[in-house]
Amino acid sequence: MALVAEASRAWATLMLERSVRHRERALFEVVKDKLERAYSSPMVQPKVAVLGASSSQYDFDFGVKLSDGRIALFEIISPAPPSVAFAHTKFSDVQRAQPDWPREAVVENLNDWPAEALALLSQVTSHVRPASAEWKDLPLMAA
């Protein structure tokens, strides 16, 4: 009996992990597509590393090289408290190093987010963007 229960638990865990990875990949592709439609593909770089004011290096999901030399940073964030805390830390540190760089938090669904988590991210980002929304203001960042 215990063997069957353990096998069932392991299978359910595996299926849940696969589902989460699939959703993360799909969301990454949605964001990539939006950025590549707004900017030319060479301007959009997945997985960029940036130094913060503390000299710590942070990885962001996307960086967009803007015409004025700035880099717009995009990070996909979940409403899980560890994700919010780490995103706040890295956006805050980069904000101190590069205050003029746009910092964009991307979320899957704003309705899943507690107001206090959104308020926390809003302190250190230029925008909190739902992935499903139209991002019509992106080209303005290149001006």
When mean pLDDT is compared over 15-19, 36-40, 87-91, the highest value belongs to: 87-91
At 10 the pLDDT is: 60
Q: Where are the domains of the chain?
A: 2-142
The answer to whether the CB of 73 falls within 8 A of the CB of 101 is: yes
Q: Report in angstroms the alpha-carbon separations of 53 from 50, 65, 97, 99.
A: 10, 20, 4, 10
Q: What percent of the chain has pLDDT over 90?
A: 63
Q: Which pLDDT belongs to residue 11?
A: 56
The Cα–Cα gap between 34 and 129 comes to 12
Mean pLDDT of 32-61: 93
Average pLDDT over residues 32-60: 93
Q: Can you tell me the mean pLDDT for 92-108?
A: 96
pLDDT higher for 46 or 41?
46
Fold for 2-142, please state it: Trna Endonuclease; Chain: A, domain 1 (3.40.1350)
